[in-house]
């Protein structure tokens, strides 16, 4: 299966377990892999035959900016669900990172990595 990969989508949002995270917010970074058939686009060279990835980026940013969840796992799932609604997308991988998680004495990043297929009834 063919793929489109989008990396380093950066956006400010309000998801987090701590109350301060939902008020003050923080930066999130997202990498996506979208599986779809690119053969028609290869043949036609037409945007209608592929995924306009500007739409995928816009959807990710809108969810991060407007949704508030306690868990980043829930945010990653919401992003995956939204992207699976795009025409032609058959499977999605979402890598959602908090580059500055508010954890004492921890300078690393937290990353949730989920892969979801298109539901069978779609």
Tokens of 21: 């995270």
Residue 50: pLDDT above 70?
yes
Q: Which residues pair with 33 in a beta bridge?
A: 5, 93
pLDDT in the model for residue 102 = 87
Cα–Cα distance, 122 to 85 (Å, whole number): 9
Give the burial class of 24: count Cβ atoms within 10 A of its Cβ; 0-12 exposed, 13-18 middle, 19 or more buried.
exposed
The answer to whether residue 98 scores a pLDDT higher than 70 is yes
Residues annotated catalytic, as ranges: 98
- Please report, rounded to a whole number, the percentage of residues in the chain having pLDDT higher than 90: 91
Asked if 97 and 43 touch (Cβ cutoff 8 Å), the reply is: no
Residue 122 has pLDDT above 80, yes or no: no
Nearest-5° angle of CA 32, CA 78, CA 96?
Answer: 40
C-alpha–C-alpha distance, residues 108 and 36, integer Å: 33
Per-residue pLDDT at 58 exceeds 70: yes
Structural domains of the chain in order of their starting residue, each with its CATH number: 3-117 (3.30.1130.10)
In degrees and rounded to multiples of 5, residue 108 shows phi and psi of -85, -165
Other Cβ atoms less than 10 A from the Cβ of 32: the count is 23
């Amino acid at each position: 299966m063919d793929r489109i990969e989008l990396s380093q989508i950066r956006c400010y949002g309000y998801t987090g377990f701590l109350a301060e995270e939902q008020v003050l917010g923080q930066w999130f970074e997202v990498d996506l892999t979208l599986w779809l058939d690119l053969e028609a686009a290869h043949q036609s060279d037409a945007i209608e035959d592929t995924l306009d990835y500007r739409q995928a980026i816009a959807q990710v940013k809108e969810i991060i900016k407007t949704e508030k969840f306690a868990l980043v796992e829930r945010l990653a799932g919401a992003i995956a669900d939204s992207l699976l609604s795009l025409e032609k997308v058959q499977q999605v991988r979402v890598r959602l990172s908090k580059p500055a998680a508010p954890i004492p004495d921890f300078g690393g990043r937290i990353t949730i990595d989920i892969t979801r297929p298109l539901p069978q009834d779609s």
